[in-house]
Amino acid sequence: MTRTPTPTTAIPAARQRHVRNTAPYENWRPPLVGVSILAPVETSHILVAELRGDLLVPSGPVHNGQPPEQAAQKVLRGVPSGVPVLRRVAVDWVQMRRRQICTYVLATKRLTHDDAARYTYCDGRADLWMLPIAQAISALPGLARARVLAGLKALADEEMAYLEAGIVSRTESARLTCSRLLRGQ
């Protein structure tokens, strides 16, 4: 006796496998734009901030429409003439969860030990330290370390470094993204 094959029945809609929506990643929070200051002291030291046992690069926010050079003046205080900003040396763009973060790294003119000792950090809980460059770089967290290394190289080469999430980028997508964020678009 032969059996006749039974027709296959369709899987009910409720049991069908859920197909994931692959929509582009949306930023529902406004972007953050910040500034970090790379302040070389003499030829062998840099200024870093120590906050609760952690080292960080002196940093602060850039508000809507404000140039990073103006924002840098609020990060370090103590000298009437302000922070002697030399130029922008690096731009780092990071996508974190639902927010884009862009950080401009500004280099100051080379400071003397006496000038550096007069500065204070905008966060009263932190102290500014002058550390040898190698010691400071080894103690900084990964992203800050990458920004400082790229900034020092760009300062020595007299060029600009573009980073994406702490990795030097061959494209200028970081520059384009950060310039758009700075304009508030």
Does residue 92 have a pLDDT over 50? yes
* Nearest-angstrom CA–CA distance, 16 and 120: 62
In this prediction the pTM is: 0.77
Q: CATH number, domain at 69?
A: 3.90.79.10
Say what the pLDDT of residue 185 is.
47
* Nearest-angstrom CA–CA distance, 61 and 72: 9
The answer as to whether 168 is a domain residue is yes
The residues, ordered by sequence, that sit 6+ positions from 112 with a Cβ below 8 Å of its Cβ are 41, 42
Decide which of 185 and 94 is more confident. 94
Three-state DSSP class for residue 133: helix
The answer as to whether 82 is a domain residue is yes
The answer as to whether 77 is a domain residue is yes
Tell me the pLDDT tens digit for each residue of 37-69.
999 999 999 999 999 999 999 999 999 889 999
Residue 83's domain spans which residues?
29-182
Number of domains in the chain: 1
The answer as to whether 12 is a domain residue is no
Tell me the pLDDT tens digit for each residue of 108-166.
999 999 999 999 999 989 999 999 999 999 999 989 999 999 999 999 999 889 898 88
The answer as to whether 14 is a domain residue is no
CA distances from 81 to 26, 33, 140 (A): 42, 25, 29
